[in-house]
């Protein structure tokens, strides 16, 4: 069974090396705007969080041009660049903001798990990004899901005196 | 570069004239890049060529240059760097100040290696560089706002939460001479008063984001070099620097008698335990934070959730601030320190200078040189946190004695007189930071006295204690670093000058290449040694640059910075230390240590640097050797 990409939360420092490596692996350039993984840093809150594609496949059925399919070997969503028109429906339906369009080609940027060898996992020295067997990955998925139900702690706003 | 394409660079300079509200794009000059590479190296050449000697740094004639280097924003570890270069209103000599965060990389992704800001605007403006279209916009609505408020408003206004903001707070607007430029809320380009230069130009902020590619000349080799370098430097992330931040080293320094305390009277603090990085992590740390591309993550995201010193989450409490504000004035408690740090950040002033000035004021008050009348009734005493915070407010608002202290410790001491100069700790007007000439290493006596390029600084060009205090060779032995290092207290005849020269030239590469010095300080297996830097730069730019070539470029840059200062009137007579920094230390493991042979140490160092011992100018021969013949003509005459 294909492995899953998951994160071990709270460890991310927000360095963004994963984004730079992602653009390098796919385009041989450094450009975080062309990365398939995005690290979000919330101002005034202790949050740095890698937003990545969980390969849910919602975009596959939404694509009006049949440009997206499931690579069964890897378990990743595959973009057919010939068919992709850059319409952006996949970006529209993705609930996590994990799909985007390439600023240069305007075609869909969706995580392809680097053909089963994710570059972001290799470069993350904090051990935030993990590529695990499905059963192990499920543990991290449960943690991520349970975090949605934790009590909200409202941090102080800036310039509170 | 056969095809004329520049690899690693964005390739363009954005020139903004605020007096004429005009923006133009220029190409980088390949001939200058070969000689100066980038960063403050390229910038010092532009400042040397463009600035008239003797201009008022707060006049429209000054330039403010935001600089990146070839390695900035690439996959090189710790390359989330931006440097600002200008003539300093605090020191009157070459000014440069650096911040981490994301601004430098984003500037390159927006298509520019440098921004040159000229002239001054009549009304407050900000520079927006979004979606490839730079423009000046009205900033009257954010003039007077704090850094945190202004940054929030700007990010909303440009409609891109991922943009990066460099802005000034009220400190810069009020021309406090050590006002900082704040990047991404809490990353400070603190030293030398860059914020005041921005304020004098009525430039509140620069906002930038972009989506252009950076390419390497040899993509596969560069990537391999970068991965190897990330792996090496990430060891520091798992070490003390990553886990406890820069302040993680505070206790160790104290035990070695190297923790400046009580306005540099001693280097040992009884209450150090209360100010440690470990204590900070236990009580106030929300999370670690890294600048872009950094596998160390020394940033401390801290807060004080309640009580009289309640402070919202922010990146702060690094070592320099903790010592200069918390230990020098002997506050002995982290909560008021965190609050003071936050105030400095959001009002936009340098924590090192502010802490230095506050400790100086306490001592002046103790000696009766300033009185209750001057302070508006605040009783300045060692260890009184509330008095320190009140004094900080006076400085921020330029009220009462705060107005004088906002001019920096040198000017304040001159005005106060009556011996105040003896304990005003600065080098060429720049407030001395939290490393000592007697307790840390005698190399700091030389480094602060010479103060090239920007006055008394511990880290620009490099923390020279790496050699004899930390006993790390930094990969410099092949390049001639004297080894083994002597005792850190030994002054003369131990090749200290030779060592300092090489350490400085290596450190200078950080601000030329556009990376953080923390990637260059540590054991050889966990830093960017000259060999690693050479591999990264060569594969990125396609120019074969050996470690020796890099040091030569560095030498040219370091020497030109000195020449800039010489042109402004600096000579050997200015290469000195205030009396306090030569006096015996009062207590602790380094008790009795003093500086005895400064002049001999300077002779040795000038000799190593190729500077004339009488005048302190780089010799004509040295300048010729570096290809700076035109510069020689200016400082030696034709």
pLDDT value at position A161?
40
Q: Mean per-residue pLDDT for B557-582?
A: 98
Residue linked to tokens 């000799």: B607
Among candidates A17, A44, A161 on the partner chain, residue whose Cβ is nearest the Cβ of B313: A44
Per DSSP, B535 falls in state H
In the sheet that holds B164-167, the strands lie side by side as B133-138, B125-130, B203-208, B164-167, B181-183, B187-189
Question: Which residue in A32, A45, A48 is closest to B313 by CB distance?
Answer: A45
Average pLDDT of the residues of chain B: 97
Q: Is the pLDDT of residue A159 over 70?
A: no
Q: Which residues contact A150 (CB under 8 A, 6 or more apart)?
A: none
pLDDT > 80? residue A154 = no
To the nearest 10 degrees (0 to 180), the angle between helices B496-513 and B443-450 is: 60
Q: Please tell me the predicted confidence (pLDDT) of residue A158.
A: 53
Helix (H, G, I), strand (E, B) or coil at B5: coil
The tens digit of pLDDT for each residue in B149-207 reads 999 999 999 999 999 999 999 999 999 999 999 999 999 999 999 999 999 999 999 99
Give the separation between CA A35 and CA A17, rounded to whole angstroms: 11
Q: How many residues does chain B have?
A: 638
3-state secondary structure of B124: coil
Q: Is residue B38 a contact partner of residue B556, using CB atoms and an 8 Å limit?
A: no
B78 touches B291 (CB < 8 A): yes
| B467 SS3 class | helix
User: Which of the four pLDDT bands, split at 50, 70 and 90, describes residue A160?
Assistant: very low
pLDDT at residue A19 greater than cutoff 70: yes
Q: What is the pLDDT of residue B365?
A: 98
Q: Is A153 in CB contact (< 8 Å) with chain B?
A: no
pTM of the entire predicted model: 0.97
Q: Write the pLDDT tens digit of every residue in B369-426.
A: 999 999 999 999 999 999 999 999 999 999 999 999 999 999 999 999 999 999 999 9
A24–B contact, CB cutoff 8 A: yes
Q: State the nearest Cα–Cα gap between A125 and chain B, in angstroms.
A: 6
Q: What is the pLDDT of residue A148?
A: 80
| pLDDT of amino acid B3 | 60
Residue spans of alpha helices (H) in A4-148: 17-27, 58-62, 89-93, 119-123, 134-147
Mean pLDDT across A84-91: 98
Please tell me the distance from the alpha carbon of residue B345 to that of residue B301, in angstroms, as a whole number.
13
Are B305 and A156 within 8 A, CB to CB?
A: yes
Q: What is the pLDDT of residues B493-552, one digit of tens each?
A: 999 999 999 999 999 999 999 999 999 999 999 999 999 999 999 999 999 999 999 999
Q: How many CB atoms lie within 10 A of CB B25?
A: 12
pLDDT tops 90 at residue B131: no
Are A30 and B213 a contacting pair at CB < 8 A?
A: yes
Report the residue from B216, B299, B312 with minimal CB separation from A44. Answer: B312
B132 vs A: CB within 8 A: no
Nearest CB among A30, A45, A161 relative to B214 is that of A30
Q: Provide, as residue numbers in chain B, all residues whose Cβ is less than 8 Å from the Cβ of A21.
A: 75
What are the DSSP E strand ranges found in chain A? 4-7, 38-42, 47-51, 68-71, 76-79, 100-101, 108-109, 129-132
DSSP string, B7-51: SSS--EEEEEETTTTEEEEEE--HHHHHHH-SHHHHHHHHHHHHP
Kindly report, residue by residue over B607-627, the tens digit of the pLDDT.
999 999 999 999 999 999 999
Q: Nearest CB to A15: which of B151, B185, B292?
A: B292
Q: Looking at CA atoms only, how far is residue B296 from chain A in angstroms?
A: 9
Query: How far apart are alpha carbons A122 and A126 in whole angstroms?
Result: 10
B291/A contact by beta carbon, under 8 A = yes
Residue A33 contacts B, CB cutoff 8 Å: yes
Average pLDDT over residues B218-242: 97
CB nearest to A43's CB, from B185, B303, B305: B185
Q: Does A140 touch chain B (CB under 8 A)?
A: no
Q: What is the pLDDT of residue A77?
A: 98
Rg (CA), chain A: 17
Q: Tell me the pLDDT tens digit for each residue of A98-146.
A: 999 999 999 999 999 999 999 999 999 999 999 999 999 999 999 888 8
Identify all chain B residues contacting A30, using CB atoms and an 8 Å cutoff: 73-75, 213-216
Mean pLDDT of B293-311: 96
pLDDT in tens, B103-112: 999 999 999 9
Return d(Cα B52, Cα B231) in angstroms, integer. 46
- Is B185 in contact with A17 (Cβ distance < 8 A)? no
Residue B71 to residue B349: CA distance in whole angstroms: 28
Quote the pLDDT of residue A145: 87
Look at B297 and A160 and tell me if their CB atoms are within 8 Å. no
Nearest to A43 among B152, B212, B299 (CB): B152
Enumerate residues 333 to 372 of chain B having a beta carbon within 8 A of any beta carbon in chain A. Answer: 346
What pLDDT score was predicted for residue A147? 83
Question: What band does B1 get if pLDDT is binned at 50, 70 and 90?
Answer: very low
CB contact under 8 Å between B303 and A156, yes or no, is yes
Cα-based torsion angle of the residue sequence B594, B598, B600, B605 in order, rounded to the nearest 10 degrees: 120
Q: Return the residue matching tokens 């306005």.
A: B263
Surface of B (198-237) touching A: CB under 8 A:
210-216, 219, 223, 227, 230-231, 234, 237
Please report the number of interchain residue pairs, chain A to chain B, with beta-carbon separation below 8 angstroms: 114
Q: What is the DSSP string of B166-196?
A: EE--HHHHTT-TTBPEEETTTEEE-GGGHHH
Interface of B with A in 148-187 (CB under 8 A): 148-149, 151-152, 155, 161, 185
Please report, rounded to a whole number, the percentage of residues in chain A having pLDDT higher than 70.
Answer: 93
Nearest to A159 among B148, B155, B219 (CB): B148
Q: Does A97 touch chain B (CB under 8 A)?
A: no
Q: Cβ of B291 and A15 within 8 Å?
A: yes
What is the three-class DSSP state of B298?
Answer: coil
8 Å CB contact of B223 and A104: no
The answer to whether the CB atoms of A24 and B234 lie below 8 A apart is: no
Mean pLDDT of A40-63: 96
Identify how many contiguous H helices and E strands chain B contains and give both numbers.
25, 17
pLDDT digits (tens, 9 = 90+) for B266-290: 999 999 999 999 999 999 999 999 9
Distance, CA of B200 to CA of B56 (rounded, Å): 11
- How many residues are there in chain A? 161
Find residues 28-87 of chain B whose CB sits inside 8 Å of chain A. Answer: 73-75, 77, 80
Handedness of CA B487, B489, B495, B496 (dihedral sign): positive
Residue A155 has pLDDT above 70, yes or no: no
Radius of gyration of the CA atoms of chain B, in A: 23
pLDDT surpassing 50 at residue B11:
yes
Nearest neighbour of A156 by CB, restricted to B291, B312, B346: B312
Chain A hits for B227, CB-CB cut-off 8 Å, are: 122-123
Quote the mean pLDDT of chain A.
93
More confident residue, B248 or A154: B248
**Cβ–Cβ gap B219/A28 under 8 Å:** yes
pLDDT tens digits, one per residue of A23-32: 999 999 999 9
Query: pLDDT tens across B577-588, in order?
Result: 999 999 999 999
B339's CB contacts (< 8 A; 6+ apart) are B304, B309, B310, B311, B389
Indicate the DSSP class of residue B122: S
């Amino acid at each position: 069974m294909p492995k899953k990409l998951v994160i071990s939360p709270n460890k991310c420092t927000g360095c963004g090396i994963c984004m730079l490596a992602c653009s390098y692996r796919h385009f041989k350039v450094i450009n975080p705007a062309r990365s398939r993984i995005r690290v979000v840093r919330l101002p005034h809150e202790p949050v740095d969080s890698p937003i990545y594609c969980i390969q849910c496949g919602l975009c596959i059925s939404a694509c009006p041009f049949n440009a997206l399919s499931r690579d069964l070997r890897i378990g990743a969503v595959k973009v057919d660049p010939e068919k992709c028109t850059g319409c952006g429906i996949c970006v529209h339906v993705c609930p996590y903001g994990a799909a985007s369009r390439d600023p240069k080609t305007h075609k869909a940027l969706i995580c392809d798990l680097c053909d089963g060898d994710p570059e972001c996992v290799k470069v993350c020295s904090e051990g935030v990004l993990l590529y695990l067997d499905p059963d192990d990955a499920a543990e991290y998925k449960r943690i991520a899901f349970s975090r949605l139900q934790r009590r909200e702690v409202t941090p102080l706003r800036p310039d509170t005196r | 570069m056969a095809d004329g394409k520049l690899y690693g660079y964005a390739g363009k300079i954005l020139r903004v004239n605020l007096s004429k509200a005009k923006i133009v794009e220029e190409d980088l000059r390949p001939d200058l890049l070969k000689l100066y590479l980038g960063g403050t190296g390229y910038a010092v050449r532009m400042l040397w060529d463009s600035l008239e000697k003797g201009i008022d740094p707060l006049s429209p004639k000054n330039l403010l240059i935001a600089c990146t280097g070839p390695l900035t924003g690439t996959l090189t570890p710790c390359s989330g760097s931006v440097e600002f270069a200008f003539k300093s209103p605090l020191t009157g000599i070459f000014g440069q100040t650096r911040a981490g965060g994301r601004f430098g990389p984003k500037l390159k992704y927006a298509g520019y290696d440098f921004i040159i800001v000229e002239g001054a605007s009549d009304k407050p403006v900000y520079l927006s560089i979004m979606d490839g279209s730079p423009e000046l916009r009205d900033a009257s609505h954010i003039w007077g706002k704090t850094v945190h408020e202004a940054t929030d408003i700007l990010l909303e206004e440009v409609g891109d939460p991922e943009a990066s903001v460099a802005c000034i707070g009220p400190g810069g607007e009020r021309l406090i001479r050590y006002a900082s430029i704040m990047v991404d809320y809490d990353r400070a380009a603190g030293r030398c008063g860059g914020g005041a230069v921005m304020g004098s130009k009525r430039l509140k902020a620069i906002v930038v984001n972009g989506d252009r590619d950076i390419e390497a000349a040899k993509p596969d080799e560069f990537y391999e070099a970068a991965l190897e370098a990330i792996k090496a430097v990430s060891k520091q992330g798992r070490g003390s620097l990553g886990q406890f931040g820069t302040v993680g080293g505070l206790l160790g320094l104290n035990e070695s008698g190297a923790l400046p305390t009580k306005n540099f009277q001693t280097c040992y603090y009884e209450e150090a335990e209360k100010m440690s990085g470990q204590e900070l992590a236990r009580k106030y740390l929300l999370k670690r934070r890294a600048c872009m591309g950094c596998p160390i993550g020394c940033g401390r995201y801290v807060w004080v959730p309640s009580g009289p010193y309640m402070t919202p989450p922010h990146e702060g409490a690094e070592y320099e601030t903790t010592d200069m504000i918390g230990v020098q004035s002997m506050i002995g408690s982290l909560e008021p320190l965190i609050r003071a740090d936050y105030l400095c950040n959001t009002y936009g002033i340098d924590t090192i200078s502010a802490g230095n000035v506050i400790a100086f004021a306490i001592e002046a008050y103790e000696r009766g040189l300033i009185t209750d009348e001057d302070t508006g009734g605040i009783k300045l005493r060692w260890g009184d946190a509330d008095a320190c915070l009140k004094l900080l407010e006076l400085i921020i608002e330029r009220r009462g004695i705060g107005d004088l202290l906002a001019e920096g410790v040198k000017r304040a001491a001159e005005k106060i007189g009556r011996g105040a100069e003896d304990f005003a700790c600065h080098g060429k007007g720049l407030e001395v930071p939290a490393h000592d000439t007697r307790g840390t290493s005698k190399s700091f006596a030389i480094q602060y006295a010479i103060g090239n390029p920007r006055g008394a600084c511990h880290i620009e060009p490099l923390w020279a204690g790496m050699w004899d205090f930390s006993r790390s060779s930094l990969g410099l032995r092949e390049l001639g670093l004297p080894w083994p290092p002597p005792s850190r207290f030994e002054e003369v005849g131990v090749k200290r000058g030779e060592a300092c020269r090489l350490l400085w030239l290596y450190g200078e590469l950080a601000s030329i290449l556009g990376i953080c010095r923390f990637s260059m300080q540590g054991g050889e297996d966990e830093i960017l040694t000259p060999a690693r830097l050479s591999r990264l730069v060569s594969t990125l730019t396609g120019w074969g640059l050996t470690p020796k070539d890099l040091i030569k470029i560095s030498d040219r840059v370091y020497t030109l910075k000195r020449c800039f200062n010489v042109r402004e009137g600096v000579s050997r007579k200015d290469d000195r230390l205030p009396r306090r920094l030569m006096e015996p230390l009062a207590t602790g493991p380094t008790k009795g240590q003093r500086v005895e042979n400064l002049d001999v140490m300077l002779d040795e160092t000038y000799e190593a640097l190729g500077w004339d011992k009488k005048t302190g100018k780089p010799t004509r021969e040295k300048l010729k050797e570096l290809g700076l013949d035109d510069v020689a003509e200016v400082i030696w005459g034709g």
